[in-house]
Amino acid sequence: MQTVVILDCFTVEPSGLGVPPYLSTYVRNAWSALRRARPEADVRYVTIDDVRWCLVGGKPTVEPPLSDRLTYSTTVNRDTAIQLLRDAEIVVVIAGNAVPSVHLHAVNGSFEEIARALACTRGRRYLLGPLSTYALASPVEYAGLFDAVHTHTVTSGDLLLGSRRPADYEQTRRERDSFTGLVEQMPWRPIAELELYRGCTRRKFCDFCNEPAKSPLVAFREVEDVVTEAAQLYAAGIRNFRLGQQTCFFSYRNRDEDAIRALLGGIRERCPELEVLHIDNADPLAVAAPVGLRIAKLVAGYCTEGNCAPMGIESFDPVVIERNTLTCTPEILTRAVEHVNEAGAARGPGGLPMLLPGLNLIYGLPGETHGTHVANLRGLAGILDAGLLCHRTNVRLARAFPGTPLAALGEREPLPSAEHFPSWKADIDFTWDQPMKERVYPTGLRVPGLHSYFIGQGGTWWRRLGSYSIQIVERDAAVPRGTTGDLVVTGHAPRMIYGERVASAS
Ligand code: SF4
């Protein structure tokens, strides 16, 4: 039987995560297209971790019991990965970071690794995912590496030709059927990333953002289409879902409360024993609106606990907001944070708040001065002083993604964050993140239903599956991966908390 291969080198975008255990829309899209295009073929799912495993001689790159972030997500195909790549008629590579990406348990495939993996192939090679934009922007660097490039989606019809626009949702619906054979190749509990729409619903776009360049027009999926895909995934054994592949969950179908109720209710009905239902991405403008509060209540009511609505204020500095068309002011953000707290701060049966806001801050945007950092610290202190809860905060440096107004500015004079970012980030860690962790996860809180997932130098890391799930470190312990347990919170750090195991979860 002819073999075709999906080589998942993992993807990270502002809207959409494709790092295991997340099962990305790209992987599922490639699976469906390949099954349609080659119905007789054996479609194999291989990760860059499988390739690394083979290249170092069939073993991890660190000594057990430490977990190896380079080979953490190997599949059932890990021992034959190179052979599969060599013999495949087609290899679809899925790769690319549209935003900086750092993970405890994973390292996304680099350009060099992808080139090395493809060096052994004899079949045709196609690229899908955010790396496509870089490949098209740097044709010399990528010359000869791929036979065709797909920027958004791949279908059975355009597989050989490449594509620069997304397939319409009706077409992807027609191509989709069972995911069972795909999920069976993943020896982990996947969390399926689901897409609700493409594009950004704002009238004015933020200058740094690649989403409007990626999808200039907004296109919504039908509720039934999303629910049916969730049901197909559920039938394949998936029990964890995140509605995260869109720019703002609250803006689905233009903030249509009834559609969102039908969506969440439909998933609950068709996937009755789901374990995780979370969302990702929230535009503070939508959340701060009166309908935003009502939608937040729907999310808190239908989704599972520990959920997060991350919102991009990006900067509290009015000069930076103005210069970069960020639109959201500190006042709007505060109202949005209040709405999410009102709807979701109550704790669920597992001890975690149902839904909390997350915050995104970006340094390195035009207009930045030392005063920008002061404004950010003041803005965060205001939220803390108001007694509000926040799940997590992401602070990063701007990256000029090809096609954005920020990239069009070209080389710029270095901004203060070029020198001060590490210390500014540390300021936020200790004046905001850590006190907030202490508030949301107080010492003595018992967190049940955790599983161990990574053994590092400092101990074992525990979490639940979910969106930005809280990481609890059991110090000086090496607990086998996948062990279940309850931990009691004993201490706090900016990015994680510490705990002691008290009992095995039932
Ligand atoms: S609101 Fe701004 S950051 Fe969010 S998707 Fe739209 S343009 Fe991008």
Q: Which residue's entry shows tokens 């704790």?
A: 347
Intervals of CATH 3.40.50 along the chain = 3-171
**411: pLDDT strictly greater than 80:** no
CATH 3.80.30.20 boundaries in the chain: 194-440
Q: Record the tokens describing residue 131, joined without a space.
A: 């790396």
pLDDT averaged over every residue in the chain: 96
Q: Give the pLDDT band (50/70/90) at residue 401.
A: confident
What is the per-residue pLDDT for 213?
Answer: 84
Output Rg (C-alpha) for the chain, integer angstroms.
Answer: 22
Amino acid at 361: L
Nearest to 21 by CA among 171, 203, 195, 187: 187
Q: What is the pLDDT of residues 145-161, one digit of tens each?
A: 999 999 999 999 999 99
Can you give the pLDDT at residue 99? 81
Q: Does ipTM exceed 0.95?
A: yes
CA atoms within 13 A on the CB side of 118: 27
Please tell me the distance from the alpha carbon of residue 264 to that of residue 331, in angstroms, as a whole number: 29
Rounded to whole angstroms, how far apart are CA atoms 222 and 225?
A: 5
Q: For residues 33 and 28, give the distance between their C-alpha atoms in angstroms, rounded to a whole number.
A: 9
Question: What are 308-317's pLDDT values in tens digits?
Answer: 999 999 999 9
Tallying the residues shown for the chain, one arrives at 506
**What is the 401 CA–ligand 1 centroid distance (Å)?**
13
In the reported structure, the alpha carbon of residue 352 is separated from the centroid of ligand 1 by a whole-number distance in angstroms of: 29
Helix pair 257-270, 223-235: axis angle to 10 deg: 20
| Element housing 10 (H / E) | strand 3-12
**Confidence band, pLDDT 50/70/90 cuts, at residue 504:** low
Query: Which tops the pLDDT comparison, 14 or 355?
Result: 355
Output the six-digit token pair for 2.
Answer: 């002819």
For residue 284, the number of C-alpha atoms closer than 13 Å in the C-beta half-sphere is 24
Give me the percent of the chain exceeding a pLDDT of 70.
99
State the pLDDT at residue 505: 47
Other beta carbons less than 10 A from residue 194's beta carbon? 25
Pocket test for ligand 1, best of 99, 197, 204, 209 (most atoms within 8 A of CB): 209
Q: Which of 429, 463, 459 is nearest to 449 (CA)?
A: 463
Which whole number is the average pLDDT over 10-37? 96
CATH 2.60.40 fits 3-171, yes or no: no
Average pLDDT over residues 103-129: 97
Mean pLDDT, rounded, for 376-385 = 98
**Mutational pocket test of ligand 1: of 196, 198, 202, 332, the residue with most ligand atoms within 8 Å of the beta carbon:** 202
pLDDT 10s digits, 315-374: 999 999 999 999 999 999 999 999 999 999 999 999 999 999 999 999 999 999 999 999
| Residue 93 Cα to ligand 1 middle (Å) | 27
Give me the mean pLDDT over the 292-296 stretch.
98
pLDDT exceeds 50 at position 506: no
> What whole-number percentage of the chain has pLDDT above 90?
92
Q: How many CB atoms sit inside 10 A of residue 297's CB?
A: 18
List of E strands, 294-352: 307-314
Residue-level pLDDT at 407:
87
Q: pLDDT band for position 414 (50/70/90)?
A: confident
Query: Pocket residues for ligand 1 (CB within 6 Å)?
Result: 200, 202, 205-206, 209, 211-212, 247, 283, 312
Among 197, 201, 206, 218, the mutation site with the greatest number of ligand 1 atoms within 8 A of its Cβ is 206
Collect all residues with Cβ–Cβ distance below 8 Å to 331 and sequence separation of at least 6: none
CB 169 within 8 A of CB 176: no
CA of 443 to the centre of ligand 1 (A): 36
- Return the sign of the alpha-carbon dihedral for residues 140, 142, 145, 146: negative
Reference 77, options 69, 68, 67, 87; nearest CA is 87
Choose among 102, 238, 135: nearest CA to 180.
238
Cα-Cα-Cα-Cα torsion 168, 222, 308, 107, nearest 10 degrees, comes to: -30
pLDDT surpasses 80 at 1: yes
Structure tokens at 185: 């190749």
Nearest CA residue ID for atom 6, ligand 1:
200
Over residues 208-236, the pLDDT tens digits come to 998 888 889 999 999 999 999 999 999 99
* Residue 112: both structure tokens together: 């060099």
How many angstroms separate the alpha carbon of residue 394 from the centre of ligand 1?
Answer: 15
- Whole-number Å distance between alpha carbons of 85 and 80: 9
Is 334:383 a contact under the CB 8 Å cutoff?
yes
CA of 406 relative to ligand 1 center, distance in Å: 13
The minimum-distance atom of ligand 1 relative to the CA of 205 is: 7
User: What's the fold here for domain 194-440?
Assistant: pyruvate-formate lyase- activating enzyme (3.80.30)
Domain 446-503 CATH assignment equals 2.40.50? yes
Query: For the purposes of burial, counting CB atoms within 10 Å of the CB of 243, is it exposed (0-12), middle (13-18) or buried (19 or more)?
Result: buried
Collapsing DSSP states into helix, strand and coil, what is residue 487? Answer: strand
Ligand 1 centroid – CA 99 distance (Å): 13
Nearest CA to ligand 1 atom 2: 206
Q: Report CA(320)–ligand 1 centroid distance (Å).
A: 15
What integer pLDDT is reported at residue 105 of this predicted model?
96
Model pLDDT, residue 168: 96
- By three-state DSSP, how is residue 281 classified? coil
| Residue at token pair 């009511």 | 301
Among the listed residues 426, 446, 455, the one whose alpha carbon sits nearest the alpha carbon of residue 486? 446
Q: What is the pLDDT of residues 241-261, one digit of tens each?
A: 999 999 999 999 999 999 999
Which pLDDT score, from 0 to 100, does residue 98 have?
Answer: 83
Both tokens assigned to 293: 């509060």
Tell me: pLDDT of 385 over 80: yes
Residue 149 has a CB neighbour count (10 Å cut-off) of: 24
CATH 2.40.50 maps onto the chain at 446-503
